[in-house]
Amino acid sequence: MRVDYAPEGAERPGQYPYSRGVSAEPKVWIMGQYAGFGTAKESNVRFRALLEAGVTGFSVAMDLPSQMGIDSDDPRAAGEVGRVGVAIDSLADIEVLMDGIPLEELSQVRTTANSIGYLWAALFVALAEKRGVHPDQFGMFIQNDVLKEFIARGTQIFPPEASLRLSVDTIEYVSREAPSWVPLAMSGYHIRESGASATQEIAFTFANARAYLDECVRRGVDVDQVAPTLFTFLAITTDVLPEVAKFRAARRVWARLMRERYGARDPRSEQLRIFAFTAGSTLTAQQPLNNVVRTSVEATVAALAGVQTLHVSAYDEALGVPTEHAATLALRTQQVVAFETGLTTTLDPLAGAYAVETLTDELEASIWSLMEDIEERGGALEAIGSGRFARDLAEAAYRHSQQVETGERTVVGVNKFPAPTEPLEVFTIDPGTEQAQAESVRRLRHTRDQTAVDSALAQLAQDVREGRSVMPATIEAVKAYATLGEVVEVLRDELGTWRPSAEF
């Protein structure tokens, strides 16, 4: 079967600048679903069910205390334990979470670890060691994009410069010790969800990426050692043609950036791998079954755009943690698009379409222009510190909200064709989860080797003070069953805590 219908002389898939895709052969994306709630034991049941249903990777949703490095028995965690994801306090929870799941059979385990990317890497290195598996024998996808937390999500812990240091420690370690892992997912998704335009989504994301790469290069790490391990994490909205063009333009811009600005020699450095996630902001609590249609359209966009991995949101996510039924239907949506539509047999099928090519060219130009403006004004760290990113996103989000309020932007079932919403089953968290998890952490502290924990944490503090990577000592700490909160507290003492400026 033919996979490309381009005329002679036209750009081919798998050729620089990769606007038509990074591979010359059609491939089905890695299918994963974002899941996690309550305790590690409860989430393990859901993950095993999804694996049996056909996922080839999954994303671990962590609760907010875990993302912030706060233990479940900490008073600051009250009311949030296990709510928007699974509670992870130590290696003991990871052991339960992954119980019965063969690591070497996983193509990708993704996570929302951004401010604690170094901890997530350490936990799975430790788990692999306990199971006698080399970390490079399975796929790990660590988001680890802490800079975008200052822009879009807000789970930052340390000041920007210190946060960047920890992320790059992780990137440097993983690229050397487990090069099949993804140590950084340059995250535009949350930027887009905060109100950004397609241009801002890509330009802000790549501006952050430049900060990570510049620090790697400053440390003497070859860009060709790091860039091939990276992914980008982008949103898909229902705006079909502009979204297809966005992915094509992003690949072009990345290829040029790697070749012209960083002098990459390895073609893999120029090939932008994309993890696409259907936009949560397009989901509605009103008439939630309409979300099935929305996510089906968005999954089709991903297929047309040639992404490498995909998550489809469940129709009930505007109401809470997805039910198992809704999560399974989201997976089935991916499977129908991948295996029943024929879209995966033709690479970049919209290539040559006047609208798509024009939109791709326009987006490429606008992305470059905005990126250059950010660099001329001091780069990502300056844009974060001055509040520029925050202001730009606030203005974009306000414009979007006004368009919905006035009806300029149609949202079916909300500002057009409203109707009473049928009652819908909503997933609920066991109210006893928080107490059980807190008690589990307290038991752990009484049963572990406290001398080993104290020694590892002391080494971590010394390594930070002396400018060494945090990874070796963090691995030793989690192997001794130090909690996330204990590791983070050591780093707070050494690196300080982020305090918002007036701009925030």
Give the model confidence (pLDDT) of 320-343 as tens digits.
Answer: 878 888 988 999 999 999 999 999
Contact in structure between 186 and 209 (CB atoms under 8 Å): yes
User: Beta 274-278 vs 231-236: how paired, if at all?
Assistant: parallel
pLDDT, tens digit (0-9, with 9 covering 90-100), for 94-111: 999 999 988 887 777 888
The DSSP result for 372-405, as a single string, is HHHHHTT-HHHHHHTTHHHHHHHHHHHHHHHHHH
CA-based nearest residue to 304, from 276, 263, 283: 276
d(CA 138, CA 257): 29
Q: Taking the mean position of all CA atoms in its chain, how far away is CA 296?
A: 21
d(CA 17, CA 12): 10
For 143, residues 6+ apart whose C-beta sits below 8 A from its C-beta are: 110, 111, 112, 113, 114, 117, 184, 185, 187, 233
User: Do 61 and 155 fall within a single domain?
Assistant: yes
User: Do 239 and 321 fall within a single domain?
Assistant: yes
The DSSP result for 297-337, as a single string, is HHHHHHHHHT-SEEE---TTTTTSSPPHHHHHHHHHHHHHH
- Residue 428: pLDDT over 80: no
Task: Give the pLDDT band of residue 294 (cuts 50, 70, 90).
Answer: very high
Task: Give the pLDDT band of residue 3 (cuts 50, 70, 90).
Answer: low
Average pLDDT, the chain: 93
Number of domains into which the chain is organized: 2
d(CA 433, CA 73): 12
* 96 CB-side CA count, 13 A: 16
- Identify the CATH number of the domain in which residue 244 sits: 3.20.20.240
Helices 484-495 and 117-131: crossing angle, nearest 10°? 140
pLDDT, tens digit (0-9, with 9 covering 90-100), for 241-286: 999 999 999 999 999 999 999 999 999 999 999 999 999 999 999 9
The tokens of 442 are what?
A: 């307290």
Give the structural domain span for 474.
446-495
Q: Both ends of the chain: CA-CA distance in Å?
A: 54
Residue type, 345: T
Residue type, 121: A
CA dihedral 156, 138, 231, 318 (to 10 degrees): -60
401 φ/ψ angles, rounded to the nearest 5 degrees: -60, -40
User: Do 214 and 360 fall within a single domain?
Assistant: yes
In a domain, 363, yes or no: yes
**Per-residue pLDDT at 358:** 98
Contact in structure between 237 and 279 (CB atoms under 8 Å): yes
Of the residues 406, 432, 466, the one at which a domain ends: 406
User: Do 377 and 467 fall within a single domain?
Assistant: no
Contact in structure between 360 and 249 (CB atoms under 8 Å): yes
User: Do 35 and 136 fall within a single domain?
Assistant: yes
User: Do 334 and 208 fall within a single domain?
Assistant: yes
Element (H, E) at 24: none
**Per-residue pLDDT at 176:** 93
- Residue 502: pLDDT over 60: no
In a domain, 229, yes or no: yes
In a domain, 3, yes or no: no
User: Do 302 and 247 fall within a single domain?
Assistant: yes
The tokens of 504 are what?
A: 């925030």
User: Do 479 and 354 fall within a single domain?
Assistant: no
In a domain, 334, yes or no: yes
Task: Give the pLDDT band of residue 303 (cuts 50, 70, 90).
Answer: very high
In a domain, 23, yes or no: no
In a domain, 17, yes or no: no
Contact in structure between 51 and 30 (CB atoms under 8 Å): no
What integer is the mean pLDDT of 190-197?
Answer: 95
In a domain, 83, yes or no: yes
CB atoms within 10 A of CB 432: 10
User: Do 331 and 462 fall within a single domain?
Assistant: no
User: Do 91 and 166 fall within a single domain?
Assistant: yes
Contact in structure between 332 and 57 (CB atoms under 8 Å): no
User: Do 151 and 222 fall within a single domain?
Assistant: yes
Contact in structure between 170 and 471 (CB atoms under 8 Å): yes
Task: Give the pLDDT band of residue 495 (cuts 50, 70, 90).
Answer: very high
In a domain, 421, yes or no: no
298, burial (CB in 10 Å: exposed 0-12, middle 13-18, buried 19+): buried
Three-state SS sequence of 286-299: CCCCHHHHHHHHHH
User: Do 488 and 358 fall within a single domain?
Assistant: no
List Cα–Cα distances, 205 to 175, 355, 374, in angstroms: 20, 25, 11
d(CA 5, CA 352): 10
Quick one: DSSP state of residue 40?
A: H
414 φ/ψ angles, rounded to the nearest 5 degrees: -115, -65
pLDDT, tens digit (0-9, with 9 covering 90-100), for 448-463: 999 999 999 999 999 9
Residue with the bigger pLDDT between 152 and 500: it is 152
